[in-house]
Structure 1
Amino acid sequence: MRARNIKPGFWKNEDLVDLPYEYRLLFIGLPMLADREGRLEDRPKRIKMELFPADPVDVDDGLNELIDRGFLERYESEGVKVLMISKFAEHQSPHHSEKKSDLPGKDGFAAVKEPEKSSGSPKRGREDTGDKPDSSGEKNEEGEGGNREPTVDLPKDHGEPTVDPQNSGRRNRPDSLIPDSPNPDSLEKTIGTSASDAPTQAELEAEPPEPSGKNTYPEAFELVWRKYPKRPGSNPKNKAFRAWRARVKDGAAPADILAGTVRYANYIRQTNRQNTEFIMQAVRFFGTSCEYENEWTPPEDPGPNSPHNGFGNIDYSAGLKREVRDGEANF
Protein backbone atom coordinates (compact mmCIF):
# COMPACT_ATOMS: atom_id res chain seq x y z
CA MET A 1 0.00 0.00 0.00
CA ARG A 2 1.00 3.60 -0.52
CA ALA A 3 0.57 6.58 1.78
CA ARG A 4 -2.27 8.84 0.61
CA ASN A 5 -4.18 11.67 2.24
CA ILE A 6 -7.85 12.57 2.10
CA LYS A 7 -9.48 15.94 1.60
CA PRO A 8 -11.92 17.41 4.14
CA GLY A 9 -14.59 17.63 1.44
CA PHE A 10 -14.84 13.83 1.41
CA TRP A 11 -16.97 13.78 4.56
CA LYS A 12 -19.65 16.03 3.03
CA ASN A 13 -19.49 14.73 -0.53
CA GLU A 14 -23.10 14.69 -1.67
CA ASP A 15 -22.56 11.69 -3.94
CA LEU A 16 -20.86 9.61 -1.24
CA VAL A 17 -22.96 10.28 1.84
CA ASP A 18 -25.77 8.08 0.54
CA LEU A 19 -23.48 5.06 0.31
CA PRO A 20 -23.03 2.60 3.20
CA TYR A 21 -20.05 3.48 5.37
CA GLU A 22 -18.14 0.37 4.24
CA TYR A 23 -18.29 1.55 0.62
CA ARG A 24 -16.99 4.96 1.70
CA LEU A 25 -14.11 3.20 3.48
CA LEU A 26 -13.55 1.24 0.28
CA PHE A 27 -13.18 4.49 -1.63
CA ILE A 28 -10.64 5.76 0.92
CA GLY A 29 -8.60 2.57 0.59
CA LEU A 30 -8.54 2.26 -3.21
CA PRO A 31 -5.98 5.07 -3.78
CA MET A 32 -3.66 3.28 -1.34
CA LEU A 33 -3.73 0.25 -3.66
CA ALA A 34 -3.51 2.25 -6.89
CA ASP A 35 -0.27 3.08 -8.71
CA ARG A 36 0.96 6.57 -9.53
CA GLU A 37 -1.54 6.83 -12.42
CA GLY A 38 -4.53 5.88 -10.24
CA ARG A 39 -4.82 2.38 -11.74
CA LEU A 40 -5.22 -0.97 -10.01
CA GLU A 41 -6.22 -4.44 -11.11
CA ASP A 42 -9.96 -5.14 -11.17
CA ARG A 43 -9.83 -8.06 -8.73
CA PRO A 44 -12.58 -7.62 -6.09
CA LYS A 45 -11.51 -10.62 -3.98
CA ARG A 46 -7.94 -9.41 -3.77
CA ILE A 47 -9.09 -5.87 -2.91
CA LYS A 48 -11.26 -7.30 -0.12
CA MET A 49 -8.32 -9.21 1.35
CA GLU A 50 -6.25 -6.01 1.33
CA LEU A 51 -8.86 -3.63 2.80
CA PHE A 52 -11.43 -5.81 4.62
CA PRO A 53 -9.70 -9.09 5.55
CA ALA A 54 -12.00 -9.75 8.54
CA ASP A 55 -15.21 -7.93 7.51
CA PRO A 56 -18.15 -9.27 5.48
CA VAL A 57 -18.06 -6.51 2.86
CA ASP A 58 -19.34 -7.01 -0.70
CA VAL A 59 -16.44 -5.27 -2.46
CA ASP A 60 -17.74 -5.99 -5.97
CA ASP A 61 -21.05 -4.28 -5.20
CA GLY A 62 -19.19 -1.37 -3.64
CA LEU A 63 -17.06 -0.96 -6.78
CA ASN A 64 -20.18 -0.91 -8.92
CA GLU A 65 -21.73 1.78 -6.71
CA LEU A 66 -18.60 3.95 -7.03
CA ILE A 67 -18.53 3.40 -10.81
CA ASP A 68 -22.19 4.43 -11.11
CA ARG A 69 -21.37 7.70 -9.33
CA GLY A 70 -18.38 8.47 -11.52
CA PHE A 71 -15.63 7.93 -8.94
CA LEU A 72 -14.16 4.90 -10.75
CA GLU A 73 -13.82 3.66 -14.32
CA ARG A 74 -13.66 -0.01 -15.26
CA TYR A 75 -12.14 -1.18 -18.52
CA GLU A 76 -10.21 -4.06 -20.10
CA SER A 77 -7.10 -3.52 -22.21
CA GLU A 78 -4.37 -5.84 -23.43
CA GLY A 79 -6.24 -8.67 -21.73
CA VAL A 80 -6.01 -6.99 -18.32
CA LYS A 81 -9.03 -5.85 -16.29
CA VAL A 82 -8.29 -2.45 -14.77
CA LEU A 83 -9.94 -0.02 -12.34
CA MET A 84 -8.97 3.63 -12.70
CA ILE A 85 -9.74 6.30 -10.08
CA SER A 86 -11.29 9.32 -11.75
CA LYS A 87 -9.28 12.57 -11.60
CA PHE A 88 -6.54 10.88 -9.62
CA ALA A 89 -3.70 12.76 -11.35
CA GLU A 90 -5.57 16.04 -10.88
CA HIS A 91 -5.72 15.70 -7.11
CA GLN A 92 -2.66 13.63 -6.17
CA SER A 93 1.06 14.27 -5.88
CA PRO A 94 2.77 10.86 -5.99
CA HIS A 95 6.40 10.84 -4.93
CA HIS A 96 8.79 11.17 -7.87
CA SER A 97 10.45 7.89 -6.96
CA GLU A 98 7.18 5.93 -6.96
CA LYS A 99 7.21 3.04 -9.43
CA LYS A 100 5.65 3.78 -12.81
CA SER A 101 2.44 2.04 -13.79
CA ASP A 102 2.60 -1.56 -15.01
CA LEU A 103 -1.06 -1.54 -16.09
CA PRO A 104 -2.27 -0.50 -19.56
CA GLY A 105 -4.30 2.61 -20.18
CA LYS A 106 -7.58 2.58 -22.06
CA ASP A 107 -5.67 2.66 -25.36
CA GLY A 108 -3.24 -0.03 -24.31
CA PHE A 109 0.54 0.19 -24.05
CA ALA A 110 2.61 2.47 -26.28
CA ALA A 111 6.34 3.04 -26.70
CA VAL A 112 7.73 5.92 -24.67
CA LYS A 113 11.19 7.32 -25.30
CA GLU A 114 13.48 7.39 -22.30
CA PRO A 115 14.73 10.82 -21.19
CA GLU A 116 17.95 11.94 -22.86
CA LYS A 117 20.78 11.89 -20.35
CA SER A 118 23.59 13.28 -22.53
CA SER A 119 22.65 16.95 -22.04
CA GLY A 120 23.05 18.94 -18.87
CA SER A 121 19.42 18.66 -17.83
CA PRO A 122 17.23 15.61 -18.43
CA LYS A 123 14.15 15.93 -20.63
CA ARG A 124 10.75 14.38 -20.26
CA GLY A 125 9.80 11.64 -22.68
CA ARG A 126 7.87 12.57 -25.85
CA GLU A 127 7.25 16.21 -25.02
CA ASP A 128 10.93 17.10 -25.52
CA THR A 129 11.86 14.81 -28.45
CA GLY A 130 9.07 15.82 -30.80
CA ASP A 131 8.86 12.20 -32.03
CA LYS A 132 5.66 10.24 -32.00
CA PRO A 133 5.66 6.65 -30.79
CA ASP A 134 5.73 4.01 -33.49
CA SER A 135 2.50 2.04 -33.09
CA SER A 136 2.77 0.16 -36.42
CA GLY A 137 4.25 -2.90 -34.75
CA GLU A 138 7.62 -2.46 -36.52
CA LYS A 139 10.81 -2.56 -34.55
CA ASN A 140 12.11 0.87 -33.55
CA GLU A 141 14.81 2.34 -31.38
CA GLU A 142 13.10 1.21 -28.22
CA GLY A 143 12.45 -2.38 -29.33
CA GLU A 144 9.27 -4.06 -30.52
CA GLY A 145 6.10 -2.01 -30.98
CA GLY A 146 3.60 -2.46 -28.15
CA ASN A 147 6.36 -3.12 -25.66
CA ARG A 148 4.08 -2.75 -22.60
CA GLU A 149 5.50 0.64 -21.62
CA PRO A 150 3.24 3.13 -19.79
CA THR A 151 1.37 5.73 -21.80
CA VAL A 152 2.49 8.60 -19.57
CA ASP A 153 5.54 10.84 -19.72
CA LEU A 154 8.45 9.66 -17.67
CA PRO A 155 9.58 11.83 -14.76
CA LYS A 156 12.93 13.56 -14.62
CA ASP A 157 15.70 11.65 -12.92
CA HIS A 158 15.50 12.79 -9.30
CA GLY A 159 13.31 15.64 -10.47
CA GLU A 160 9.80 16.95 -10.04
CA PRO A 161 6.66 14.75 -9.97
CA THR A 162 4.71 14.36 -13.21
CA VAL A 163 1.61 15.96 -11.69
CA ASP A 164 1.27 19.40 -10.23
CA PRO A 165 1.80 19.54 -6.46
CA GLN A 166 -1.13 20.57 -4.29
CA ASN A 167 0.95 22.53 -1.82
CA SER A 168 1.42 25.70 -3.85
CA GLY A 169 0.57 28.68 -1.66
CA ARG A 170 -0.65 26.52 1.23
CA ARG A 171 0.70 24.46 4.07
CA ASN A 172 2.64 21.33 3.22
CA ARG A 173 0.49 18.23 3.02
CA PRO A 174 1.43 14.56 3.04
CA ASP A 175 1.69 12.96 -0.42
CA SER A 176 -1.53 12.05 -2.08
CA LEU A 177 -5.11 10.84 -1.90
CA ILE A 178 -8.28 12.17 -3.40
CA PRO A 179 -11.37 12.78 -3.75
CA ASP A 180 -12.75 15.67 -5.80
CA SER A 181 -15.35 17.35 -3.60
CA PRO A 182 -18.61 18.61 -5.16
CA ASN A 183 -18.72 20.96 -2.15
CA PRO A 184 -15.67 23.22 -2.74
CA ASP A 185 -16.76 25.57 0.03
CA SER A 186 -16.28 22.82 2.59
CA LEU A 187 -12.54 22.83 1.91
CA GLU A 188 -12.14 26.60 1.91
CA LYS A 189 -13.92 26.89 5.25
CA THR A 190 -11.25 24.70 6.81
CA ILE A 191 -8.46 27.10 5.85
CA GLY A 192 -7.70 29.62 8.59
CA THR A 193 -7.42 29.41 12.34
CA SER A 194 -7.99 25.89 13.60
CA ALA A 195 -7.21 23.81 16.66
CA SER A 196 -3.77 23.12 15.21
CA ASP A 197 -3.11 26.87 14.97
CA ALA A 198 -3.79 27.48 18.68
CA PRO A 199 -0.76 28.04 20.93
CA THR A 200 0.53 24.80 22.42
CA GLN A 201 1.91 24.32 25.91
CA ALA A 202 5.39 24.05 24.40
CA GLU A 203 4.92 27.42 22.72
CA LEU A 204 3.77 28.92 25.98
CA GLU A 205 6.82 27.59 27.76
CA ALA A 206 9.24 28.70 25.03
CA GLU A 207 11.45 31.53 26.17
CA PRO A 208 10.16 34.77 24.60
CA PRO A 209 12.50 37.72 23.99
CA GLU A 210 13.20 39.87 27.01
CA PRO A 211 11.46 43.26 27.09
CA SER A 212 13.74 45.88 25.56
CA GLY A 213 12.28 48.88 27.39
CA LYS A 214 9.37 50.34 29.33
CA ASN A 215 5.73 49.76 28.36
CA THR A 216 6.65 46.59 26.48
CA TYR A 217 3.53 44.85 27.73
CA PRO A 218 0.00 46.16 27.07
CA GLU A 219 -1.61 48.14 29.87
CA ALA A 220 -4.36 45.53 30.32
CA PHE A 221 -1.74 42.92 31.21
CA GLU A 222 0.25 45.33 33.39
CA LEU A 223 -2.90 45.95 35.46
CA VAL A 224 -3.46 42.21 35.90
CA TRP A 225 0.18 41.70 36.83
CA ARG A 226 0.01 44.36 39.54
CA LYS A 227 -3.05 42.68 41.06
CA TYR A 228 -1.56 39.20 40.95
CA PRO A 229 -0.29 38.07 44.41
CA LYS A 230 3.48 37.98 44.75
CA ARG A 231 5.17 34.67 45.46
CA PRO A 232 8.72 33.67 46.39
CA GLY A 233 10.82 31.84 43.83
CA SER A 234 10.20 31.67 40.10
CA ASN A 235 7.22 33.45 38.56
CA PRO A 236 8.40 34.71 35.14
CA LYS A 237 6.43 37.66 33.85
CA ASN A 238 7.20 37.03 30.16
CA LYS A 239 5.75 33.50 30.27
CA ALA A 240 2.70 34.75 32.19
CA PHE A 241 2.16 37.37 29.46
CA ARG A 242 2.34 34.75 26.74
CA ALA A 243 -0.29 32.63 28.49
CA TRP A 244 -2.48 35.70 29.12
CA ARG A 245 -2.22 36.70 25.46
CA ALA A 246 -3.15 33.20 24.31
CA ARG A 247 -6.32 33.26 26.40
CA VAL A 248 -7.28 36.67 24.96
CA LYS A 249 -6.77 35.29 21.45
CA ASP A 250 -9.02 32.38 22.39
CA GLY A 251 -11.79 34.86 23.17
CA ALA A 252 -11.39 35.52 26.89
CA ALA A 253 -12.21 39.11 27.91
CA PRO A 254 -9.31 40.92 29.65
CA ALA A 255 -11.83 42.28 32.17
CA ASP A 256 -12.90 38.74 33.13
CA ILE A 257 -9.27 37.69 33.59
CA LEU A 258 -8.69 40.76 35.76
CA ALA A 259 -11.77 39.99 37.89
CA GLY A 260 -10.58 36.41 38.41
CA THR A 261 -7.14 37.68 39.40
CA VAL A 262 -8.66 39.99 42.02
CA ARG A 263 -10.73 37.10 43.44
CA TYR A 264 -7.62 34.95 43.67
CA ALA A 265 -5.64 37.72 45.38
CA ASN A 266 -8.43 38.14 47.97
CA TYR A 267 -8.49 34.38 48.52
CA ILE A 268 -4.74 34.33 49.16
CA ARG A 269 -4.99 37.23 51.60
CA GLN A 270 -7.94 35.80 53.56
CA THR A 271 -6.25 32.41 53.87
CA ASN A 272 -2.98 34.01 55.07
CA ARG A 273 -0.93 32.64 52.19
CA GLN A 274 0.70 35.87 51.05
CA ASN A 275 4.30 35.53 49.86
CA THR A 276 4.29 31.74 50.17
CA GLU A 277 5.01 28.94 47.78
CA PHE A 278 1.29 28.02 47.91
CA ILE A 279 0.62 30.79 45.37
CA MET A 280 0.53 29.18 41.93
CA GLN A 281 2.73 30.49 39.16
CA ALA A 282 0.99 33.03 36.95
CA VAL A 283 1.72 31.02 33.78
CA ARG A 284 -0.50 28.28 35.19
CA PHE A 285 -3.15 30.71 36.42
CA PHE A 286 -3.48 32.20 32.91
CA GLY A 287 -2.85 28.86 31.20
CA THR A 288 -5.13 26.43 29.42
CA SER A 289 -6.80 25.35 32.68
CA CYS A 290 -8.20 28.93 33.01
CA GLU A 291 -7.82 29.11 36.78
CA TYR A 292 -9.08 32.71 36.69
CA GLU A 293 -12.57 31.36 35.97
CA ASN A 294 -12.82 29.76 39.43
CA GLU A 295 -14.78 31.46 42.20
CA TRP A 296 -11.88 31.37 44.69
CA THR A 297 -14.26 31.70 47.61
CA PRO A 298 -12.37 31.73 50.95
CA PRO A 299 -13.54 29.35 53.71
CA GLU A 300 -16.16 30.81 56.03
CA ASP A 301 -15.25 31.87 59.59
CA PRO A 302 -16.76 29.21 61.89
CA GLY A 303 -17.68 31.91 64.51
CA PRO A 304 -17.42 31.85 68.34
CA ASN A 305 -20.32 29.40 68.85
CA SER A 306 -18.96 26.77 66.52
CA PRO A 307 -18.47 23.34 68.14
CA HIS A 308 -15.03 23.33 66.54
CA ASN A 309 -13.80 26.28 68.66
CA GLY A 310 -12.59 26.50 72.30
CA PHE A 311 -10.56 23.33 72.46
CA GLY A 312 -7.65 25.28 73.93
CA ASN A 313 -9.73 26.37 76.96
CA ILE A 314 -10.65 22.86 78.16
CA ASP A 315 -8.78 21.37 81.14
CA TYR A 316 -8.25 17.79 80.08
CA SER A 317 -6.52 16.90 83.42
CA ALA A 318 -9.69 17.43 85.51
CA GLY A 319 -10.78 14.25 87.31
CA LEU A 320 -7.41 12.57 87.03
CA LYS A 321 -5.54 11.44 90.14
CA ARG A 322 -2.24 13.13 90.61
CA GLU A 323 -0.35 10.23 92.15
CA VAL A 324 -1.04 6.58 91.39
CA ARG A 325 0.92 3.41 91.90
CA ASP A 326 1.93 1.24 89.00
CA GLY A 327 -0.86 -1.01 87.93
CA GLU A 328 -3.69 1.26 89.14
CA ALA A 329 -6.08 3.15 86.91
CA ASN A 330 -5.63 6.92 86.84
CA PHE A 331 -9.31 7.81 87.41
Structure 2
Amino acid sequence: MSRIRTIKPEFFKHEELFDAEVETGLPLRLSFAGLWTQCDREGRFVWRPRQLKADILPYDDVDFSRVLDALATRGFIVKYASADRSFGYVPSWNRHQVINNRESASSLPNPIDIIAKTDASATRHPRVRHDGKVEGKGKEGKEEPNGSLSGTSPDPAQRPKAKSNYSEAFEAFWLAYPRSPNMSKVKAFDGWKKLTEPERKACHDAVSAYRSFLASKPDHPTMHAATFINERRFEGFAAGIATTAADEDAQWPKRLAYARSNKTWSTSMWGPGPGQRGCRVPTDLLNESDGDGWREWEQAA
Protein backbone atom coordinates (compact mmCIF):
# COMPACT_ATOMS: atom_id res chain seq x y z
CA MET A 1 0.00 0.00 0.00
CA SER A 2 1.38 3.40 -1.00
CA ARG A 3 1.60 6.15 1.61
CA ILE A 4 2.00 9.93 1.63
CA ARG A 5 5.54 10.95 2.59
CA THR A 6 7.56 14.12 3.06
CA ILE A 7 10.24 15.38 0.67
CA LYS A 8 12.52 18.27 1.61
CA PRO A 9 13.77 20.94 -0.82
CA GLU A 10 17.36 19.87 -0.06
CA PHE A 11 16.66 16.52 -1.70
CA PHE A 12 16.84 18.09 -5.17
CA LYS A 13 20.40 19.26 -4.47
CA HIS A 14 21.63 15.88 -3.25
CA GLU A 15 25.03 15.56 -4.95
CA GLU A 16 25.70 11.94 -3.93
CA LEU A 17 22.42 10.78 -5.46
CA PHE A 18 23.09 12.74 -8.63
CA ASP A 19 26.61 11.35 -8.94
CA ALA A 20 25.29 7.82 -8.45
CA GLU A 21 22.63 8.39 -11.11
CA VAL A 22 25.21 9.65 -13.60
CA GLU A 23 27.51 6.73 -12.81
CA THR A 24 24.87 4.02 -13.19
CA GLY A 25 22.56 5.56 -15.79
CA LEU A 26 19.60 4.56 -13.60
CA PRO A 27 16.76 6.83 -12.33
CA LEU A 28 17.95 6.64 -8.73
CA ARG A 29 16.63 9.99 -7.48
CA LEU A 30 13.01 9.42 -8.52
CA SER A 31 13.20 5.77 -7.47
CA PHE A 32 14.54 6.62 -4.00
CA ALA A 33 11.81 9.20 -3.38
CA GLY A 34 9.20 6.80 -4.73
CA LEU A 35 10.50 4.06 -2.47
CA TRP A 36 9.57 6.14 0.58
CA THR A 37 5.91 5.83 -0.39
CA GLN A 38 6.28 2.04 -0.19
CA CYS A 39 7.88 2.05 3.27
CA ASP A 40 5.92 1.50 6.46
CA ARG A 41 6.15 3.90 9.40
CA GLU A 42 9.57 2.49 10.38
CA GLY A 43 11.08 2.96 6.92
CA ARG A 44 10.89 -0.78 6.08
CA PHE A 45 9.67 -2.42 2.89
CA VAL A 46 9.46 -5.85 1.28
CA TRP A 47 12.25 -6.39 -1.25
CA ARG A 48 10.08 -7.18 -4.30
CA PRO A 49 11.68 -5.45 -7.31
CA ARG A 50 8.91 -6.25 -9.79
CA GLN A 51 6.10 -5.05 -7.51
CA LEU A 52 8.06 -1.97 -6.44
CA LYS A 53 8.68 -1.02 -10.06
CA ALA A 54 4.96 -1.33 -10.82
CA ASP A 55 4.19 1.05 -7.95
CA ILE A 56 7.04 3.54 -8.51
CA LEU A 57 8.02 3.49 -12.21
CA PRO A 58 5.14 1.74 -14.00
CA TYR A 59 5.91 3.26 -17.43
CA ASP A 60 9.72 3.10 -17.40
CA ASP A 61 11.77 0.42 -19.12
CA VAL A 62 14.21 -0.22 -16.28
CA ASP A 63 15.41 -3.20 -14.24
CA PHE A 64 14.34 -2.24 -10.73
CA SER A 65 16.56 -4.93 -9.24
CA ARG A 66 19.52 -2.92 -10.48
CA VAL A 67 18.00 0.24 -9.01
CA LEU A 68 17.67 -1.36 -5.58
CA ASP A 69 21.16 -2.82 -5.74
CA ALA A 70 22.63 0.55 -6.73
CA LEU A 71 20.90 2.29 -3.82
CA ALA A 72 22.00 -0.43 -1.41
CA THR A 73 25.60 -0.43 -2.62
CA ARG A 74 25.84 3.30 -1.89
CA GLY A 75 24.20 3.08 1.52
CA PHE A 76 20.89 4.79 0.76
CA ILE A 77 19.02 1.62 1.71
CA VAL A 78 19.98 -1.59 3.52
CA LYS A 79 18.88 -5.09 2.54
CA TYR A 80 18.24 -7.79 5.13
CA ALA A 81 16.53 -11.19 5.30
CA SER A 82 14.19 -13.04 7.63
CA ALA A 83 12.42 -16.38 7.22
CA ASP A 84 13.61 -16.77 3.62
CA ARG A 85 12.20 -13.39 2.65
CA SER A 86 14.11 -10.24 1.73
CA PHE A 87 13.37 -6.81 3.14
CA GLY A 88 14.91 -3.36 3.05
CA TYR A 89 14.92 -0.20 5.10
CA VAL A 90 16.07 3.42 4.83
CA PRO A 91 18.77 4.18 7.45
CA SER A 92 18.07 7.94 7.48
CA TRP A 93 14.30 7.47 7.77
CA ASN A 94 13.72 8.94 11.22
CA ARG A 95 15.72 12.07 10.40
CA HIS A 96 13.51 13.08 7.49
CA GLN A 97 10.02 11.65 7.90
CA VAL A 98 7.28 12.76 10.30
CA ILE A 99 4.76 9.93 10.59
CA ASN A 100 1.08 10.31 11.37
CA ASN A 101 0.37 8.66 14.71
CA ARG A 102 -2.69 6.98 13.22
CA GLU A 103 -0.58 5.00 10.78
CA SER A 104 -0.46 1.29 11.58
CA ALA A 105 2.58 -0.13 13.34
CA SER A 106 5.14 -1.96 11.22
CA SER A 107 4.44 -5.64 10.65
CA LEU A 108 7.85 -6.29 9.07
CA PRO A 109 10.85 -7.74 10.95
CA ASN A 110 13.04 -5.29 12.82
CA PRO A 111 16.34 -5.03 10.90
CA ILE A 112 18.28 -4.15 14.05
CA ASP A 113 17.31 -7.46 15.65
CA ILE A 114 18.01 -9.37 12.44
CA ILE A 115 21.42 -7.84 11.74
CA ALA A 116 22.51 -8.11 15.35
CA LYS A 117 21.88 -11.87 15.30
CA THR A 118 23.08 -12.53 11.76
CA ASP A 119 26.55 -13.84 11.15
CA ALA A 120 28.07 -11.46 8.61
CA SER A 121 29.99 -14.30 6.94
CA ALA A 122 28.06 -13.72 3.72
CA THR A 123 30.47 -10.88 3.03
CA ARG A 124 34.23 -10.70 3.16
CA HIS A 125 34.21 -7.58 5.30
CA PRO A 126 32.60 -6.38 8.54
CA ARG A 127 28.94 -5.53 8.26
CA VAL A 128 28.22 -1.95 9.34
CA ARG A 129 24.84 -1.36 10.92
CA HIS A 130 22.91 1.84 10.33
CA ASP A 131 23.81 3.01 13.84
CA GLY A 132 27.51 2.80 12.98
CA LYS A 133 28.37 -0.33 15.01
CA VAL A 134 30.42 -2.99 13.30
CA GLU A 135 29.27 -6.61 13.17
CA GLY A 136 31.66 -9.57 13.17
CA LYS A 137 33.62 -10.75 10.13
CA GLY A 138 33.20 -13.99 8.23
CA LYS A 139 33.00 -17.47 9.66
CA GLU A 140 35.15 -18.14 12.68
CA GLY A 141 38.61 -19.31 11.72
CA LYS A 142 38.29 -18.16 8.11
CA GLU A 143 41.22 -16.06 6.93
CA GLU A 144 40.44 -12.62 5.54
CA PRO A 145 42.27 -11.09 2.53
CA ASN A 146 44.53 -9.13 4.88
CA GLY A 147 45.60 -12.30 6.68
CA SER A 148 43.62 -11.74 9.88
CA LEU A 149 41.30 -14.35 11.34
CA SER A 150 37.62 -13.50 11.03
CA GLY A 151 34.83 -14.24 13.44
CA THR A 152 35.00 -13.81 17.20
CA SER A 153 36.73 -15.65 19.98
CA PRO A 154 35.98 -15.68 23.73
CA ASP A 155 39.16 -13.67 24.38
CA PRO A 156 40.21 -11.36 21.52
CA ALA A 157 43.58 -10.85 23.19
CA GLN A 158 44.34 -14.52 22.60
CA ARG A 159 43.41 -14.41 18.91
CA PRO A 160 46.39 -15.36 16.69
CA LYS A 161 47.96 -12.42 14.92
CA ALA A 162 48.69 -12.61 11.21
CA LYS A 163 50.63 -10.42 8.86
CA SER A 164 48.59 -7.78 7.03
CA ASN A 165 48.88 -7.32 3.27
CA TYR A 166 47.88 -3.68 3.61
CA SER A 167 50.48 -0.94 3.94
CA GLU A 168 50.76 1.05 7.16
CA ALA A 169 49.82 4.24 5.33
CA PHE A 170 46.64 2.66 3.97
CA GLU A 171 45.73 1.21 7.37
CA ALA A 172 46.01 4.73 8.83
CA PHE A 173 43.70 6.03 6.08
CA TRP A 174 41.23 3.16 6.59
CA LEU A 175 41.12 3.73 10.34
CA ALA A 176 40.40 7.44 9.87
CA TYR A 177 37.82 7.04 7.09
CA PRO A 178 34.13 7.02 8.17
CA ARG A 179 32.33 3.71 7.76
CA SER A 180 29.57 3.03 5.21
CA PRO A 181 27.52 -0.13 4.48
CA ASN A 182 29.19 -2.83 2.32
CA MET A 183 32.42 -0.84 2.08
CA SER A 184 35.19 -2.91 0.46
CA LYS A 185 38.63 -2.60 1.96
CA VAL A 186 40.13 -4.65 -0.87
CA LYS A 187 38.76 -2.35 -3.59
CA ALA A 188 39.86 0.72 -1.66
CA PHE A 189 43.38 -0.69 -1.35
CA ASP A 190 43.47 -1.51 -5.07
CA GLY A 191 42.83 2.16 -5.80
CA TRP A 192 45.26 3.27 -3.10
CA LYS A 193 48.11 1.36 -4.74
CA LYS A 194 47.59 3.33 -7.97
CA LEU A 195 48.14 6.68 -6.25
CA THR A 196 51.52 8.36 -6.02
CA GLU A 197 53.00 9.04 -2.59
CA PRO A 198 51.95 12.74 -2.65
CA GLU A 199 48.44 11.70 -3.72
CA ARG A 200 48.20 9.17 -0.88
CA LYS A 201 49.15 11.85 1.62
CA ALA A 202 46.59 14.24 0.14
CA CYS A 203 43.95 11.49 0.25
CA HIS A 204 44.66 10.73 3.90
CA ASP A 205 44.76 14.41 4.87
CA ALA A 206 41.43 15.02 3.08
CA VAL A 207 39.57 12.56 5.33
CA SER A 208 39.34 15.09 8.15
CA ALA A 209 37.68 17.64 5.85
CA TYR A 210 35.31 14.98 4.53
CA ARG A 211 34.28 13.97 8.05
CA SER A 212 33.55 17.63 8.81
CA PHE A 213 31.45 17.81 5.64
CA LEU A 214 29.41 14.76 6.72
CA ALA A 215 28.90 16.24 10.18
CA SER A 216 27.44 19.39 8.61
CA LYS A 217 25.13 17.41 6.28
CA PRO A 218 23.72 14.44 8.20
CA ASP A 219 21.39 13.54 5.31
CA HIS A 220 24.35 12.66 3.06
CA PRO A 221 25.28 8.97 3.06
CA THR A 222 28.97 8.20 3.38
CA MET A 223 30.57 7.41 0.04
CA HIS A 224 32.59 4.21 -0.19
CA ALA A 225 36.30 4.57 0.45
CA ALA A 226 36.96 3.05 -2.99
CA THR A 227 34.88 5.83 -4.58
CA PHE A 228 36.69 8.45 -2.50
CA ILE A 229 39.99 7.14 -3.89
CA ASN A 230 39.29 5.84 -7.40
CA GLU A 231 37.15 8.78 -8.50
CA ARG A 232 39.59 11.17 -6.83
CA ARG A 233 36.87 12.67 -4.65
CA PHE A 234 39.54 13.41 -2.06
CA GLU A 235 40.81 16.24 -4.26
CA GLY A 236 37.76 18.36 -3.53
CA PHE A 237 38.18 17.94 0.22
CA ALA A 238 41.90 18.52 0.04
CA ALA A 239 41.33 21.95 -1.52
CA GLY A 240 42.15 23.65 1.76
CA ILE A 241 45.49 21.82 2.03
CA ALA A 242 48.43 23.81 0.74
CA THR A 243 49.79 22.60 -2.58
CA THR A 244 52.36 23.99 -4.96
CA ALA A 245 51.42 25.33 -8.38
CA ALA A 246 53.22 22.38 -9.95
CA ASP A 247 51.18 19.91 -7.88
CA GLU A 248 47.95 21.62 -8.95
CA ASP A 249 48.90 21.66 -12.63
CA ALA A 250 49.76 17.97 -12.51
CA GLN A 251 46.18 17.11 -11.49
CA TRP A 252 44.38 18.74 -14.42
CA PRO A 253 45.15 16.09 -17.08
CA LYS A 254 43.68 13.41 -14.78
CA ARG A 255 40.61 15.49 -14.02
CA LEU A 256 40.04 16.27 -17.68
CA ALA A 257 40.40 12.60 -18.62
CA TYR A 258 37.78 11.68 -16.00
CA ALA A 259 35.42 14.48 -17.16
CA ARG A 260 35.66 13.45 -20.83
CA SER A 261 35.18 9.80 -20.03
CA ASN A 262 32.16 10.30 -17.76
CA LYS A 263 30.64 13.36 -19.49
CA THR A 264 30.41 15.24 -16.22
CA TRP A 265 32.21 18.11 -14.52
CA SER A 266 32.22 18.56 -10.75
CA THR A 267 32.22 22.27 -9.93
CA SER A 268 32.18 21.41 -6.22
CA MET A 269 35.57 19.68 -6.52
CA TRP A 270 37.31 21.45 -9.40
CA GLY A 271 35.71 24.87 -9.52
CA PRO A 272 34.16 26.46 -12.63
CA GLY A 273 34.44 24.35 -15.76
CA PRO A 274 35.97 25.30 -19.11
CA GLY A 275 34.23 28.30 -20.59
CA GLN A 276 33.05 29.58 -17.21
CA ARG A 277 34.40 32.64 -15.45
CA GLY A 278 37.07 31.73 -12.90
CA CYS A 279 38.02 28.42 -14.57
CA ARG A 280 41.46 27.29 -13.39
CA VAL A 281 42.08 24.72 -16.17
CA PRO A 282 45.20 25.55 -18.21
CA THR A 283 43.95 26.48 -21.69
CA ASP A 284 46.67 24.44 -23.40
CA LEU A 285 45.10 21.25 -22.02
CA LEU A 286 41.71 21.79 -23.67
CA ASN A 287 40.93 20.13 -27.00
CA GLU A 288 39.02 21.69 -29.87
CA SER A 289 37.02 18.48 -30.05
CA ASP A 290 35.55 19.27 -26.63
CA GLY A 291 33.44 21.98 -28.26
CA ASP A 292 30.01 22.66 -26.82
CA GLY A 293 30.13 19.45 -24.83
CA TRP A 294 31.62 21.29 -21.88
CA ARG A 295 28.53 23.43 -21.49
CA GLU A 296 26.33 20.34 -21.43
CA TRP A 297 28.50 18.70 -18.78
CA GLU A 298 28.58 21.84 -16.63
CA GLN A 299 24.80 22.02 -16.60
CA ALA A 300 24.68 18.44 -15.36
CA ALA A 301 27.33 18.91 -12.68
Q: Report the TM-score range of the alignment, normalised by the length of the smaller protein.
A: 0.3 to 0.5
Q: Greater helix percent: which structure?
A: 2
Q: Which structure carries more relative contact order (alpha carbon 8 Å, separation 6+)?
A: 1
Question: Larger C-alpha radius of gyration, 1 or 2?
Answer: 1
